[in-house]
Structure 1
Amino acid sequence: MGRRSRYDDDEVTGTPTQATVKWFNASKGFGFVKTEQSGEDAFLHVSVLERAGLSALPENSVISCTVRPGNKGMQVDSVISVIEMGQPSAGGGFGDRDRGGFGDRDRGGFGDRGGFGGDRGGFGGGRGGFGGGRPKPEIIGDAEGTVKFFNTEKGFGFVTPDDGSRDIFVHIRAVERSGLAGLNEGQRVKLSISQGQKGPQAERIELA
């Protein structure tokens, strides 16, 4: 039996995708992203960001995440990494607006009463807002290993490193950045890796 990755079924329960933040209302604690694979909007709750060590995301931020169907539509299940950080609006808010059907309604929406969102009355506890953005991922080292699996349709896979350490998460974005169309099980690769929210992840990939 091989080692289980933290990205296995007990961690990644939704469908991996890349998504762009349409808006995020800091005071209400929720917002929406547009998924790359299906083009659908997905609900993003602040609790999902907090599990990833974030307190908010500006509009047009690009994230790697997992999504799944909820009672009222698609919702973000987890944020794996921030690929590109958007710029806060000139007014200093994060999508602080009431978009049709998802605002402060008594029924049938994602707002403060009933449905998603909850009546939070604040945002992020003592985190104090967004904190100015994140730098690009820092390369923490290189590794050689063997492709454990890679699913092009789902857009992710894993490499088992030769040194016996934790499996390395590989997103389709990293594969494309490296000029590759995909990876095959059993293929030998060399990786430049960074530390993601849930473990090591590939930034650059070369065929060994």
Structure 2
Amino acid sequence: MASGIVKFFNSAKGFGFIAPDDGGSDVFVHVSAVERAGLDGLNEGDRVAYELEQDRRSGKLAVGELQWMGAGAPLPKAGRAGGYARSPRGSLSRSGDGRAPAGAGSGVVKWFNTQKGFGFIQPEDGGSDVFVHISAVERAGLRSLEEGQAISYDIEQDGRTGKAAATNLRVDR
């Protein structure tokens, strides 16, 4: 395993970078690798060990397996009752960029682009379209969303930008 120091990690956006100890180029780390390691996020300066793998969407090298080694306090992963309950991502983050829950809703997928990693859900109550990121889709155990697909979701408000995003997705059958 290679090792390095977390240079940057934004829990709200779901990615960051690690400065490798060998002095090479910074390494991309997606929130999915962090969550597989049992963490909700990383702090700048944390020491980590990692294995690189080819990202299935971009084809570029990214962290596949991650181990937290020390420095700042890790963010322990919250329990998941039934696979959907979850504390807001980044709620324990010292950086203050986490999200706060803002409600729930249901609607249909207006569009979703797997390559771009995001899309929008049209709420059934007729309100403004709700942003949905690929990380929320993957956490729900899905690979993508299809136009017209019925979805229930929780809404998180980004504490930094104030924008709403869908999380804890559930496919309505």
Give the TM-score normalised by the residue count of structure 2.
Answer: 0.48
- Which one has a bigger Cα radius of gyration? 1
User: Greater strand percent: which structure?
Assistant: 2
